[in-house]
Amino acid sequence: MPEIWFPNLGIEIEHLNRVAFTVFGKEVYWYGVFIGSGVLLGLLLAMHEAKRTGQIPDDYLDFALYALVFSIIGARLYYVIFSWDTYSGNFIKIFAIREGGLAIYGGVIGGVLTALVYSKRKKMNFWQLADTAAPSLVLGQALGRWGNFFNREAFGDFTNNLFAMRYQLSQVRLGDISENTLSQLQVANGVEYIQVHPTFLYEFLWNVGLLILLVFISRRKKFHGQIAGLYFLGYGLGRVWIEGLRTDQLTLGGFAVSQVFSAVLIVAAAAFLIWKGRQTKIAHEIEGTEAPLEESKKKDE
């Protein structure tokens, strides 16, 4: 029987190992491979964009080294803080990252704080740095979701829609499964399956669409911060509804933390884009130009 099954699409995956390969007896998981690939491809994309816009590509190599470290710290802290009951009795487990427990929003917060400090020390425009890095960030997030697929995690409640996905019950953490899903177990040839929303896939597709949009608009942006603002707005819009489908949410006071954070992000990003857009429009009217930022620079040169 297949380990993973998309019954309404007719797709069956007989075997899917969490482990990609071993190095000196240590197992390297597909999750790490996808994260690493996302970092590498994201860095190449950012360096390409830096070169295209007249920046120094090596600045982004240095930035990536710092951002990677502090993003991992931020992602872990975010997860630990909102899962404190799990770690309060065993502090050593806080450092057991190989057991899982990284939250994307924590990583984003760590990356933003790193960018603020780095841009100030390097005397770079923070918003230009953020615009350059935003497409790379969403690319890494898109690839990282496939790590969730291999780990059999980050899925939703029961569904029978076109993309409904089945995992073997024995291969999934019971704590991630809702009572509703357990009450509707699917049995095939004696094997029990949960049938759920593949939220990892929803977010992957959403992020790919957002990536294409950001790359397209980056050639036509009107002000520094526009791409970063659109990233936060677009990612928040996707995450706020996808998070509502998941059954492994981090919660505080009965509310899904990432869903609330997404809602706040949407409002803040929209307000920033409107405010900055109006400021830019006024400046263009004074200067008598409405050309995209890069074209305006070329004219000035």
Whole-number pLDDT of residue 127: 97
Angle between helices 199-218 and 226-242 (to 10 degrees): 160
If phi > 0 it is left, if psi is from -120 to 50 it is alpha, else beta; for residue 65 that is alpha
Tokens matching residue 101: 């427990």
pLDDT at 299 over 80: no
- Top pLDDT among 97 and 104 is at 104
Task: Select from 169, 174, 172, 173 the least CA-distant residue to 190.
Answer: 169
> Which range marks the domain in which residue 289 is found?
4-300
Place of tokens 């949960």: 194
Tokens matching residue 217: 């608009």
Residue range 136-167, pLDDT digits in tens: 999 999 999 999 999 999 999 999 999 999 99
Rounded to two decimals, what is the model's pTM? 0.91
Whole-number pLDDT of residue 291: 56
Q: How many CB atoms lie within 10 A of CB 124?
A: 18
Whole-number pLDDT of residue 94: 83
What are the residues whose beta carbons fall under 8 Å from the beta carbon of 111, sequence distance 6 or more? 67, 70, 71, 74, 133, 137
Tokens matching residue 299: 């004219």
pLDDT at 10 over 80: yes
Whole-number pLDDT of residue 288: 65
254: pLDDT confidence band, cut at 50, 70 and 90? confident
33: pLDDT confidence band, cut at 50, 70 and 90? very high
Task: Select from 187, 184, 178, 183 the least CA-distant residue to 156.
Answer: 178
Tokens matching residue 46: 């950012």
Whole-number pLDDT of residue 289: 59
CA distance 137 to 85: 30
Number of domains in the chain: 1
The per-residue pLDDT of the chain, averaged, comes to: 92
Query: Do residues 225 and 130 lie in contact, with contact meaning Cβ atoms separated by under 8 Å?
Result: yes
Q: Which region among 28-42, 73-87, 135-149, 172-186 has the lowest average model confidence (pLDDT)?
A: 73-87
Output the CA–CA distances (angstroms, integers) from residue 193 to 7, 13, 156, 179, 279, in the order listed: 11, 13, 14, 14, 55
Provide the 3-class DSSP secondary structure of residue 254. Answer: coil
- Top pLDDT among 15 and 102 is at 15
φ and ψ of 4, to 5 deg: -130, 140
What mean pLDDT do residues 112-122 have? 97
pLDDT at 21 over 90: yes
User: Residues forming the annotated binding site?
Assistant: 145
Q: CA geometry: angle at 43 spanning 118 and 18, to 5°?
A: 115
CA 177 to chain centre: 22
pLDDT at 298 over 80: no
pLDDT at 90 over 90: no
Instruction: Give the rounded percent of residues in the chain with a pLDDT score beyond 70.
Output: 95
pLDDT at 63 over 60: yes
Residue range 162-209, pLDDT digits in tens: 999 999 999 999 989 999 999 999 999 999 999 999 999 999 999 999
Tokens matching residue 223: 């002000």
Report the amino acid identity of residue 201.
L
285: pLDDT confidence band, cut at 50, 70 and 90? confident
Whole-number pLDDT of residue 88: 80
